[in-house]
Structure 1
């Protein structure tokens, strides 16, 4: 079965600053939240690997860009590391050495025919702002972020035409303050919701600043909505799915796309004493400065059912008062990562956006398959034969293109990731890249089979696909 990929449909790849750069050249006091977590809980990071060395992108970026050119990659998304961009986060004193590195990366990407797409915050909030202001708990940080965004636009806006305010803005506070499963392990549901709100407000402020100068480009945000599936057709299970969608998806979708929060969410936040108490001026800023486009990260579905047990009111409020996770029997799994494989999320998310929101351009900014022990799939020439990754991408791309044919405004697909890179806690346990990274001192690179395959579909706009229902190798 041959699938035709639309001519202007983006086929790119993504990563982030902190997951690739390493600490080479980092100055004292330039730790990010991620750096502080690693220093405080190195033992939870797989085999102790983390952001300290990562892939040594600071030294090796040209080699990576050469590989991008080799496979004819057209778009690459990464981030500016906010914590390294300044030497003073309140006076907004730019670290000129790091800023020049960003200049060089952007210029070399463009020279290689690769369109840079830049995110301003990929979990890289400076530790200084966490320590002094409690991070995104403070409106002062919202304004300092806006100042940072303005400077980034001024320096790179002549060349960068695609900007993102955040990558997965809900994730850090969900792990740290809602579920309290990551450092600093503080359970505080009200702080969780306040961080969600302040990141929406910060996005609106950045959009306002970007549009005020009429840059030749666009600005959006990268969200990680989970396509929610109820266990059954019962009204109780359907309601559970609606509630999960409200607290974890619409909490960003609605204000960023329509400029207005869902009334039901506001009511529930007030009822459970987690309301964020916005001013009228702030709500107006959000209403008037919606995003131009969206990035959507998609890996796995979320399955829920109506809760079977009464909520214990002696515990802090959690949205799971309204739903219970449902474990689908017989689901296909990526056992390396512990995630369900369900390519239909691509089509279903396409239709979800089409049905529920005004037309807005968007693209998949992350999707990929992490695999453990990839060295066991090397051939005699040392090339990883990652047919499982090719099958995974093919099936997800097929579902995405189905969505485009049915009226989705999706513009493209960005693979996570271009190279293997560090992931929170998992470090290098699961490999995601088209390019393999050896954990030697030089972080030696080599192209996997999937890299050559990706080049072929970029060039030909054709993709062979077995029966879409056929399972991906576990």
Structure 2
């Protein structure tokens, strides 16, 4: 619709906040009936520029299960949000949060994933979290599955490789919708669903001893089951809680061509298509045609039930969310040189990078917001964006101007995208309090506005300390994004 004026500020109801995941903050991995999850059998990485999350096979899994400690498995201890949730939410409220994104640990509700009855102690914990959020009028944004499926389903079905996992998941989602649906307006199905192409952490399926083509076949079949489960959960939510909204979630990897050479431009286009394939299915309700060639060339045959395409078409999500940390450069016939530890591609000579090798590209966020808005015409939500850094506690304070600069530049580009016409719902930076790193399971990689006194070995008082960025973000929220100084 043509208008002579365009938006120049964040909307009045913009959702400012922060994002976390149960497996990176909760701890209490063996308390109150909780079952072991896939996240809790991945050991800490030895190299901080190399991800540890998918080095799992039968032997590694057996060793992890036999180890009943948290020494080598930091996600088992998190930052003890399980016992500090009231204190942490009070700090979020002090910053002025409008929304807090967190995940429900499936294995805290159904320890084996498909138990006959839910674990009441687990349900009660999230009741208490929601009580605290309501006390401060903070909207919850809940992720249903954030890399933490019950390990028992890996052992029983090989995770999402088996279609029977769909029924276990929809029983879980129905349970939490009935319990919390009237209290929660915003939900997400699978965190960064596209990273299931990397394997175990997102699919719960062991495939490390397979050939490359066998891995691809298993992973895309597992992801198909997740896409069906996402659509069915969306249907459940709309039936049980008509006022609530369901979103999908993508790890967005904006791709640039290495040169103006058309073969590089075309290679970058293909890379982007493979990234956006997942939101295409969840937001548009069908498999895009461009994946047919990729599947055929890699010997991938998706087994679908007769009603699967109808299920996808009838239950698209209400909004599209994504994480944004970096962009990548693609060229034809590249050798897969790594960009940090989250993507493959070439280095961009115009960008700086973090201590973990993640190239920093604020303008890329504006580019991807515009492209995704043009593609889907559904409200967008930036639900992860942040800087992992080696924060130093000096005389009881953390002066993290580098984090403020990073966030300021990205927020400025979100504002530009809104002026471009993008409908943006909110921004939950990752993660508002220091937590265990997803990719390396270390504590040293700190994202938060709040410092947590814990080291990589789990030593420390767990004391929470406000960083300089805490007070900066407080001003950002209070001014609705106008005061970025």
Smaller-chain TM-score range? 0.7 to 0.9
Give the gaps of 5 or more residues in structure 1. 312-322, 467-474
Please say if residues 21 and 56 of structure 1, whose CA atoms lie closer than 8 Å, have aligned partners that are also in contact: yes
1:169 Cα deviation from its structure 2 partner: 1.6
Question: What per-residue deviation string (whole Å, max 9, x for no partner) do you get for residues 413-453 of structure 1?
Answer: 11101100001324212100010000145411011111111
The 1:29–1:157 alpha-carbon spacing in structure 2 relative to 1, beyond 3 Å, is closer
Q: 1:431 to 1:254 in 2, by over 3 A?
A: same
Match of 2:409 in 1: 395
Quick one: structure 1 residues 240 and 205, their matched pair in 2 at CA, closer, same or farther if it must change by over 3 Å? same
Distance 1:346 1:416 in 2: 15
Give the drift of 1:8: 2.1
8 A contact 1:49–1:427 mirrored in 2:
no
Deviates more, 1:20-29 or 1:152-161: 20-29
Question: Is 2:441 aligned against 1:433?
Answer: no
Residue 156 in 1 paired to residue 180 in 2?
A: yes
For each residue in 1:450-473, what CA deviation from the matched residue of structure 2 results, as whole angstroms up to 9, or x when unmatched? 11111111112254568xxxxxxx
1:265 match? 291
Selected match of 2:130 from 106, 109, 128: 106
Change (3 A) 1:273 1:177: farther
1:418 and 1:197 mapped to 2: Cα distance? 32
Once residues 427 and 185 of structure 1 are traced to their aligned partners in structure 2, the CA distance between those partners, rounded to angstroms, is 26
Correspondence 1:457 to 2:457: no
Within 5 Å, give how 1:215-294 maps onto structure 2: 215-250=242-277, 252-294=278-320
Residue 296 of structure 1: how far off its partner (Å): 1.1
Instruction: Give the match's secondary structure for 1:51.
Output: helix
> Partners in 1 of 2:468 and 2:99 — Cα distance?
20
After superposition, the Cα gap between the structure-2 partners of 1:18 and 1:27, relative to the gap in structure 1 and judged at 3 Å, is: same
- Residues 1:60 and 2:84 aligned together: yes
Decide which of 156, 160, 163 is 1:139's aligned counterpart. Answer: 163
Report whether the alignment pairs 1:296 with 2:322. yes
Q: Does 1:384 align with 2:402?
A: no
Distance in 1 between residues matched to 2:80 and 2:345, nearest whole Å? 39
Relative to structure 1, the CA distance from residue 308 to residue 55 in structure 2 (aligned partners, 3 Å threshold; closer, same or farther) is closer
Q: Is the 8 A contact 1:23 1:51 kept in 2?
A: no
The alpha carbon displacement at 1:242 in A equals 1.4
The more displaced of 84-93 and 160-169 is 84-93
Q: How far apart in 1 are the matches of 2:374 and 2:481?
A: 29
Q: Name the counterpart of 1:93.
A: 117
**Structure 1 405/108 Cα, relative in aligned 2: closer, same or farther at 3 Å?**
same
Other-structure match for 1:366: 384
C-alpha deviation, 1:270, in angstroms: 2.7
Distance in structure 1 (CA, Å) of the matches to 2:437 and 2:99: 21
Tell me, what secondary structure is at the counterpart of 2:267? helix
Distance 2:299 2:481 in 1: 53
Question: Partners in 2 of 1:410 and 1:462 — Cα distance?
Answer: 13
Residue 446 of structure 1: SS of its match in structure 2?
strand
- Report the alpha carbon displacement of residue 272 of structure 1 after superposing the two structures with TM: 2.0
Greater Cα shift, 253-262 or 127-136: 253-262
Describe the superposition over 1:276-324 as per-residue Cα deviations: whole angstroms up to 9, x where unpaired.
Answer: 1223310110011000112210000021011168x9xxxxxxxxxxx98
- Checking the alignment, whether the CA contact within 8 Å between 1:14 and 1:416 is kept in structure 2 is yes
Residue 50 (structure 2) aligns with: none
Residues 112 and 152 of structure 2 are in contact (CA less than 8 Å); yes or no, is this contact kept in structure 1? no
Cα deviations across residues 2-39 of structure 1 (Å, max 9, x unaligned)?
x9544222211010111111125536771101112238
Distance change in 2, residues 1:70/1:248 (3 Å): same
Q: Please give the TM-score of this superposition, normalised by the length of structure 2.
A: 0.85
CA distance in 2, matches of 1:333, 1:390: 15
Report if aligned partners of 2:259, 2:331 keep a CA contact under 8 Å in 1. yes
Match of 1:353 in 2: 372
Does the alignment pair 1:11 with 2:16? yes
Q: Distance in 1 between matches of 2:34 and 2:182?
A: 30
What do you get for the CA RMSD once the two structures are aligned?
A: 2.6
Aligned partners of 2:18 and 2:99 also within 8 Å: yes
Q: After superposition, where does 1:397-412 map in structure 2 within 5 Å? A: 397-412=411-426
Q: Report deviation, 1:70.
A: 1.3
Q: Distance in 1 between matches of 2:128 and 2:433?
A: 19
TM-score w.r.t. the length of structure 1 is: 0.87
Deviation at 1:147, TM superposition (A): 1.0
Whole-Å separation in 2 of the counterparts to 1:213 and 1:102: 19
Runs of 5+ consecutive residues of structure 2 not aligned to the other structure: 1-7, 44-59, 337-342
SS across alignment from 1:412: strand
Q: What is the aligned partner in structure 1 of residue 222 from structure 2?
A: 195
